[in-house]
Amino acid sequence: MTTRSDSRRYVLLYGDVELGEVTHQDSDFPNCFGTWRPYPNADNPEVRSFIRAYVEYCEHADSLMAPDFHVTPAWEAYTLEREPEFEDLIESTDWALRDDEGVRDGILVPSFGVGGKIGWRWNCMTRQEQHIHDTLRRGTAAEIRALRCPKSGGPLRIEFCETSDDGKSHFRIRGVKSDFFLIRAFGRSPKPAWVETLGSDFVTEVSDACDAAGQSARLGTRPPSMS
C-alpha cells in the first residue's frame, strides 16, 4: 500500500561528494520516491561525470518503460547492453542521504527518472553485513576464506549463484552454526577471481580459537586457555 509522507529534504551523497537536493514525497515500502535537483558544483569532476552518465542512462531507460510502468523489449535490450558500464555505482555502498540535522543514512543505488524523478531504498545492512558484502566484491581468496558469521563467530557457507536467463548473479551467505542469512546482488559483473580458487559453493575456514573467542565476546566470558 502506498503511503503519503510529509515532504522532507535531503542532500544526496556519493561518498563525501554532494550531488544534489532530494525531496522525499511518497513511500511504498520498501521503496521511496521523490524529486531531485542536482547541484552545479565542480569538485570531484571524474565522480560527477560518471554519475551524470548513470543518471542519463537511468532517464533513458525510464523513457523506454510502458505507460503502466511495465518493462518493454526496448528497455530490456537497452539495460542489458548498458548496465554493466555502471556496475561499480550500482553495487556501491557509498550512496547516502543526509537530512537537515546532518544525520547521514545509507541507501541502495538510487534510480533516476525523466523530469527529475528519483527513487531509492534505505540500506538496512549492518556494519558486519556491509563488511561481508564489500569483501565478496573486492577481496582476495584469503580474505574471503577468513570471513566469519556475525552471529556465531563461526564459519559461513558462501554461494555464488548465476542466473542463466538474464546473465545476472548474486551471493547467498548462510551461517553454518547460526540462522544468519544474507543475499546480495552482483548484477552482470564479471565472475569474481576468487571463484577459481574457492569455487562457487564453499564454507569459510575459522580456527577453533577464533570461533571460541567470537562466542566468548558475544557472551561476555573469557575464552578457554590454549596453554
pLDDT in tens, 15-63: 999 999 999 999 887 889 999 999 999 899 999 999 999 999 999 999 9
| CA within 13 Å, CB half, 98 | 13
The confidence band for 184, taking pLDDT boundaries of 50, 70 and 90, is confident
Q: Encode pLDDT of 102-136 as tens digits.
A: 988 889 999 999 999 999 999 887 889 888 988 99
Give pLDDT, residue 166: 65
Q: Which amino acid is at 197?
A: T
Task: Map out the domains of the chain as residue ranges.
Answer: 3-120, 127-219
Give pLDDT, residue 91: 82
Alpha helices in the chain (DSSP H): 45-63, 73-82, 87-90, 127-138, 141-145, 195-198, 208-219
Q: Which residues pair with 175 in a beta bridge?
A: 156
Q: What does pLDDT average to over the chain?
A: 85
Report the predicted TM-score, pTM, of the whole model to 2 decimal places.
0.65
